[in-house]
A and B are shown apart, each in its own frame.
Chain A
Amino acid sequence: MDGVENVLEIRGLCKRYSGFALTNVSFSVPRGYVMGLIGPNGAGKTTTLKTILGLLQPDFGEIRTFGLDAALHGKKARARIGFVHDDPRFYDHLSLAQNAHIVRRFYRTWDPESFQRLAKSFGLPLEKRFGTLSRGNKTKFALALALSHRAEFVIMDEPTSGLDPVFRRDLLDSLTDLLQDERTSILFSTHITSDLERIADYITLIQHGRVVFSVAKDEILERWALVKGGLDLLDQLPADTFRGVRRGEHGFEALTDDAEATRARLGDAVIIDRASLDDVVLYTSGAASADEMVNVGASTLADDVGAEGGRTDA
């Protein structure tokens, strides 16, 4: 991301609670791109986003939004940021129009036409009370507000969590439309990684409060792969060969962060499949190795390997 203007730069961010610590978190979001922040529940995604918005005070580290130190210019930065919290809160007893009327006064760049257009395209009933809306419509309302003041940077914390597939698709379509201007950047945290496979340009993976990687999505999908093979092969390999391994009764499934090198090294002895972001989260979190490989039956694995012409003694 060198040489690209960043709307967000985080360097060495640390935040400690009792029982949890965000440690040395660093990543940046380039202008006009979508950064997906992924990781299991409790990994530190919300803490990171709240710290960017100034809702939490970092213990150490530096956050720069639009090149400004967030600790000193938080108010100025927030004027250019749109946010969608995981549980959007507005006045329940007021209508959407009344809530919007309150929020608009805080933004000099508020565009009423844009709000009306977004509300219409999201199908938001502006005369209805906020408290009567479904979870999906609440998120859409928060998004409409976030986008109606011409935000250059939109921060969304688990916006699709709890939404049904239709709502999720609508929301992602809206975001895709938004990105057409190539000016707005999005930081999108989620544990539903399939959403990010559709819209993200970059992915940052957080595990146990630490950044595992922060790279272009295509790079992950090209380089990282699932490897399937027999247990005897696995036993011959050094322990650090893979990023995570699931052992079955007769075979193993593992994640590699260098598909090419693995292919060159193990050749036809294994099957190498495309890894999804879900696989990456699962294996790097350690959840996979702690799991029993229930669904990967010996025959299936053996058949897979055999069909590829590899060793079938798994």
Chain B
Amino acid sequence: MLNLVWKDVAAARRVLLILIPLGILQLAVFASVGPFILPAALFFSAVLASGSIALEETQRTETLWASLPVSRGQIVFARYLTVLLGILVGLGLTCAVGQVVGRLMDTGLGAGSAASAGATTSATAMNPALFATSTALAPIFVVLILTAAIYLPFYFRWGAGRGAVILSAVGVGSLLIITLLVQWLMGENGYYSPMLQPGAWNTADPAARAAFEARLQEVVPWVLGGSVVGSVVLFALSSVASWVLYETRDL
């Protein structure tokens, strides 16, 4: 199975030699504006994670691999491993770049840029090292892993193109459902609904807002931790579903 992961890396070697330095440069540039490192990390990790699928699609080598002495299960699990590897490398590099740029800002090298931006927030608050921590990157990891967990079974059943269409539909639908669910839960627990009472939060009692935010601070680590574990479990279950779907697929 590792041969299948290796062939993805070997085939993309030239692209990676360009993509990774460019990605690091992009992360470093965005890191100088603190939180902007997060969308850059999301984009960079997504590209690394989906690169092997894109390569497979453009080269149309699916029947080649399936004709080799490997099982369909190995093909599926290798793809999941490659995607996971892409996400972890992307986030790992984000972490490293964030820490390095953060240190440089701490030593004063970044102070000029923060001041020139006319930021009212202090350079420390904008420090990318804060955003390049495991806590800050966890939501990105969850989003990417969940996206892959949803997309890959469709990919293995119907191919990349149709899989992407279905993923978009599922993604939009899921966001809508989650939004409505969160609003309903907030309403049930006596909080304002941002959608039904959009101005309410601005005029809310500062004490109530502070209480809500304090509660949020308590809950966030648990929600994040649970999301990471949950998404990994879903990713594993998704790989089994993909295996079942791919095992009987005609190529």
What residue of chain A has the Cβ atom nearest to residue B68's Cβ? Answer: A106
Residues on B with C-beta less than 8 A from A263 are none
A170 is an interface residue with CB less than 8 A from chain B: no
B69 touches A78 (CB 8 A): yes
The digit string for B67-106, where 1 denotes a CB below 8 A from any CB of A, is 1111100000000000000000000000000000000000
Selected from B10, B55, B59, B250, the residue in CB contact (under 8 A) with A56 is B250
What residue of chain B has the Cβ atom nearest to residue A107's Cβ? Answer: B69
**Chain B: minimal CB distance from A56 (Å):** 5
B63 is an interface residue with CB less than 8 A from chain A: yes
Q: How many residues of B contact A (CB 8 A)?
A: 22
**Chain A: minimal CB distance from B157 (Å):** 13
Output the residue of B60, B69, B250 with the most chain A CB within 10 A: B69
Output the residue of A76, A79, A102, A107 with the most chain B CB within 10 A: A102
What residue of chain B has the Cβ atom nearest to residue A83's Cβ? Answer: B67
| Bound Cα distance from A85 to B63, whole angstroms | 9
Residues on B with C-beta less than 8 A from A56 are 250-251
| Bound Cα distance from A124 to B3, whole angstroms | 25
B180 is an interface residue with CB less than 8 A from chain A: no
B201 is an interface residue with CB less than 8 A from chain A: no
What residue of chain A has the Cβ atom nearest to residue B15's Cβ? Answer: A93
A69 is an interface residue with CB less than 8 A from chain B: no
B61 touches A50 (CB 8 A): no
What residue of chain A has the Cβ atom nearest to residue B7's Cβ? Answer: A102
A55 touches B71 (CB 8 A): no
A98 is an interface residue with CB less than 8 A from chain B: yes
Asked if A105 meets B64 with Cβ closer than 8 Å, knowing A55-B251, A56-B250, A76-B69, the reply is no
B71 touches A75 (CB 8 A): yes
The digit string for A87-110, where 1 denotes a CB below 8 A from any CB of B, is 001111110001001110111000
Selected from A74, A75, A76, A102, the residue in CB contact (under 8 A) with B11 is A102
Residues on B with C-beta less than 8 A from A91 are 11, 55, 59, 61
A103 touches B251 (CB 8 A): no
Asked if A53 meets B11 with Cβ closer than 8 Å, knowing A89-B60, A89-B61, the reply is no
Within 8 A of B (CB), among A52-68: 53-57
A50 touches B251 (CB 8 A): yes
Residues on B with C-beta less than 8 A from A83 are 67
The digit string for B49-69, where 1 denotes a CB below 8 A from any CB of A, is 000000100011101101111
Residues on A with C-beta less than 8 A from B184 are none
| Bound Cα distance from A85 to B59, whole angstroms | 15
The digit string for B211-251, where 1 denotes a CB below 8 A from any CB of A, is 00000000000000000000000000000000000001111
Residues on A with C-beta less than 8 A from B7 are 102, 105
**Chain A: minimal CB distance from B8 (Å):** 10
B11 touches A55 (CB 8 A): no
A94 touches B67 (CB 8 A): no
Within 8 A of B (CB), among A98-147: 98, 101-103, 105-107
Selected from B10, B67, B71, B248, the residue in CB contact (under 8 A) with A98 is B10
Output the residue of A50, A54, A98, A106 with the most chain B CB within 10 A: A106
The digit string for B4-45, where 1 denotes a CB below 8 A from any CB of A, is 001100110010000000000000000000000000000000
B66 touches A79 (CB 8 A): no
| Bound Cα distance from A93 to B63, whole angstroms | 18
Residues on B with C-beta less than 8 A from A76 are 69
A90 touches B67 (CB 8 A): no
- 11 A–B pairs (Cβ distance < 8 Å), ordered by A: A75-B70, A75-B71, A78-B68, A78-B70, A89-B60, A89-B61, A89-B63, A91-B61, A93-B59, A101-B10, A106-B70
With contacts A55-B63, A106-B69 known, what are 19 further pairs, Cβ within 8 A?
A: A54-B67, A55-B66, A55-B251, A56-B250, A56-B251, A57-B248, A57-B249, A75-B71, A78-B69, A83-B67, A89-B59, A90-B61, A90-B64, A92-B59, A93-B14, A105-B7, A106-B3, A106-B70, A107-B69
